[in-house]
Chains A and B, each alone.
Chain A
Amino acid sequence: MIEQTIFYILAATAVIATLLAITEKHPVHAILYLVTSLFSMAVIFYLLMAPLVAAFEVILYAGAIMVLFLFVIMMLDLGHPEKGLSPGWREWLPALALSGISIASLAVAVVSRHATAGAYPVALPIREVALRLFREHGLAVELVSLQLLFALVGALYLGRQRTPSPGLRPPSPSGRGTGGEES
């Protein structure tokens, strides 16, 4: 009973915070609403006996990705909400239609499975989750980690310094090279 009440409070928080994150024009406020939404999602995962997923939801999404978003917004000083750029009905319509379809299919699924309610989630020990992940899906885990490595190497390549720190050198008027094309 208590768990159900907590669930409904969290679910309402998540939905309202997500709506506000979409409609809020101020980027920093929008990020904080999104963090609130992710946080309540994490606690819902905990209620569903998936503490590992809950922890990762907070560490990865609320704690890493959203922090990076916030960092970029603060660095670029996007603190001033832009007026007159809100999307009109033409832009809203496809999004509304798609979300209507997904909500409708969810409603159909809920109504049709109404008779089999009561399938309560079972707590799975972390040891078992880890063993299953690395024994049965080891190849997939390795592939995903390789992909992350590719992204990392790609980011390093794109962000590399082409010239040995040109910012530190005063521009030379004689044209002896402003950069460092010594080769």
Chain B
Amino acid sequence: MTAFSLDIALFAAKLGMVFFVILTLAAYLVFAERKILAWVQDRKGPNRVGPFGLLQPLADLIKLLTKEDFVPAAADRWLFYLAPAMAAIPAILIFAVIPFGAPLTIAGRQLPLVVADLNVGLLFFLALSSIAVYGVAIGGWASNSKYSLLGGIRGLAQLISYELSMGLSLVPVVMLSRSFSLTDIVAAQASMPFIVYQPLAFIIFLISITAECKRIPFDLPEAEGELVAGFHSEYSGMRFGLFFVGEYINIIVLGGLATTFFLGGWHGPLLPPVIWFSLKTLAFAFFFIWMRGTLPRLRYDQLMHLGWKLLTPLALVNILATGWWLVLTR
């Protein structure tokens, strides 16, 4: 009985730690983004609250919590309330299948550093990322505003289109590792990360996840220049905050997935595994922010052409080539 309760306690500790780290990291990613963008644009960025502006996320949180919780007239009240949660929950749930370190040994028992090692982990990620569409679409629709509706429809079309190339770019990874489990995929990259064998799949995956988390140059659902703020135009206070934090959780989670699928996960020399995983994931987060400071937004038809006419066929050809290569070499 004590062994069982020890297992439960270890699991609860792991879960609590994951939640705490991801949510804190998401809040500080907002801060990092503002600082890095300021640096790109030769400004100072937030530097008033605390040393170097480090308490800015806390100040933002207090501001968002004390704002009026506004619901537009004739909005679909319940769906309007639910939509931010529908956007943020799938993002944080995906992290459940990502292995973020080598298994630890505590009190004589192995503690795998992954919340749930599903044998369909990769499909779990694809399923949840396709569910995350509803938050954007329903949020845009329930606001009863034309800008929000347009943002929601754009988000819907964009996410369906890029899900396809994202899923197809992961097929070679499954072919190489012969497993859907993310732990097995990381184990298969112990000697060589898959980016070496699959540079094309990596690039397709990177572009697709940028579109999946609606970052510049793919931020059409919330294009400030045309749609005010797109699907979350009508949101205020912490409901807006949940959409916002959900986006940054998404960046962390998708960066972690790119690390797991192509950069060898937590494998790396000298440093401890958890540090390697965090470094690689944060490098992706930095890349997303850097891209925001550099690239202009795509036009809507360019977005659709890139997804359907370039990335998806390329991913299919890549799958075929990987199949030939595997048959000829093994």
Residues of chain A having any CB pair with chain B under 8 Å: 28-29, 32, 35, 39, 42, 51-52, 54-56, 58-59, 62-64, 67-68, 70-71, 74-75, 77, 79, 125-127
**Contact between B127 and A71 (Cβ–Cβ < 8 Å)?**
no
Q: List 21 A-B contacts (CB under 8 A).
A: A28-B138, A28-B141, A39-B131, A52-B123, A55-B124, A55-B126, A56-B123, A62-B127, A62-B130, A63-B130, A63-B131, A67-B133, A67-B160, A71-B153, A71-B156, A71-B157, A74-B152, A74-B153, A77-B149, A126-B120, A127-B178
Q: For the complex formed, measure the closest distance between the CB of B140 and the CB atoms of chain A, giving whole angstroms.
A: 8
- Grouping DSSP codes into helix (H, G, I), strand (E, B) and loop, the A interface class, with mixed when no group exceeds half, is helix
Chain B residues whose C-beta falls within 8 Å of the C-beta of A77 in the assembled complex: 149
Is A74 a contact partner of B141 (Cβ separation < 8 A)? yes
Residues of B within 8 A of A55 (CB): 120, 123-124, 126-127
Q: Is the CB of B127 within 8 A of A67?
A: no
Tell me, in angstroms, the Cα distance from A69 to B142 when the chains sit together: 16
A-side contacts of B76, CB under 8 Å: 28
| With known contacts A28-B79, A70-B156, A74-B149, A59–B141 Cβ distance under 8 A | no
The interface of chain B, by Cβ under 8 A from chain A, is 76, 79, 118-120, 123-124, 126-128, 130-131, 133-134, 137-138, 140-141, 149, 152-153, 156-157, 160, 163, 178, 180
Question: Given known contacts A71-B157, A74-B153, is B123 in contact with A59 (CB within 8 Å)?
Answer: yes
CB distance B134 to A64 under 8 Å? Answer: no
Are A32 and B138 in touch, CB under 8 angstroms?
yes
Kindly state the separation between the CA atoms of A126 and B79 in the bound complex, as whole angstroms. 37
Closest to B132 in A: A63
Task: Determine the residue in chain B with the shortest Cβ distance to A57.
Answer: B127
* In the complex, chain B residues whose CB is within 8 Å of the CB of A54: 120
Partner of B119, one of A29, A63, A126: A126
Across the two chains, which residue of chain A brings its CB closest to B131? A63
Scoring B120, B152, B157 by chain A CB atoms within 10 A of each residue's CB, the highest score goes to B120
Residues of chain A lying within 8 A (CB to CB) of residue B153: 71, 74-75
Smallest Cβ distance from B149 to chain A, in angstroms?
Answer: 7
A59-B126, A62-B131, A74-B153 given; A126·B141 CB < 8 A: no
8 additional A-B residue pairs with CB within 8 Å, beyond A42-B127, A54-B120, A55-B124: A58-B128, A59-B127, A63-B127, A63-B130, A70-B134, A71-B157, A79-B141, A125-B119
**How many angstroms between the C-alpha atoms of A35 and B130 in the bound complex?**
12
Cβ of B323 to closest chain A Cβ, rounded Å: 13
Chain B nearest CB from A26 CB (Å) reads: 8
Q: Which of B126, B127, B180 contacts A126 (CB 8 A)?
A: B180
- Inside 8 A of B126's CB, which chain A residues have their CB? 55, 59, 63
B178: A residues at CB distance < 8 A: 127
**Most chain B CB inside 10 Å of its own CB: which residue of A28, A59, A127:** A59
Least Cβ–Cβ distance between B152 and chain A, in angstroms: 7
Asked whether, in the complex, the Cβ of B137 is within 8 Å of the Cβ of A70, the reply is: yes
Rounded to whole angstroms, the CA-CA distance of A125 and B178 in the bound complex is 13
Tell me if A51 and B120 are in contact (CB < 8 A): yes
CA–CA, A42 to B124, complex, Å?
11
Return the chain A residue nearest B180 by Cβ. A126
Give, as a whole number of angstroms, the nearest-CB distance from B159 to chain A: 8
A58 near B127: Cβ-Cβ < 8 Å: yes
CA of A12 to CA of B118, assembled, Å: 26
Instruction: For A32, list chain B residues within 8 Å (CB).
Output: 79, 134, 138
> Which A residues lie within 8 Å of B127 (CB)?
42, 55, 58-59, 62-63
CA distance A39 to B76 in the complex (A): 23
Tell me, in angstroms, the Cα distance from A183 to B44 when the chains sit together: 63
Q: Name which residue of chain A comes closest to B164, CB basis.
A: A64
| Shortest Cβ-Cβ A-B pairs, 6 listed | A63-B130, A55-B123, A58-B127, A51-B120, A59-B127, A55-B120
The smallest beta-carbon distance between A40 and chain B, in angstroms, is: 13
Do B133 and A51 touch across chains, with their CB atoms under 8 A apart?
no
Contacts of B141 in A (CB 8 A): 28, 74, 79
In this complex, what residue of B is CB-closest to A59? Answer: B127
CA distance in complex: A68, B163 (Å) = 13
Residues of A within 8 A of B128 (CB): 58
Chain A residues, Cβ within 8 Å of B124: 55
Q: Which residue of A lies closest to B124 (CB)?
A: A55
* B160, A71: Cβ atoms closer than 8 Å: yes
Complex CA gap A52/B138 in Å reads: 28
Q: Which residue of A lies closest to B127 (CB)?
A: A58
Residue among B119, B120, B130, B137 making CB contact with A74, cutoff 8 Å: B137
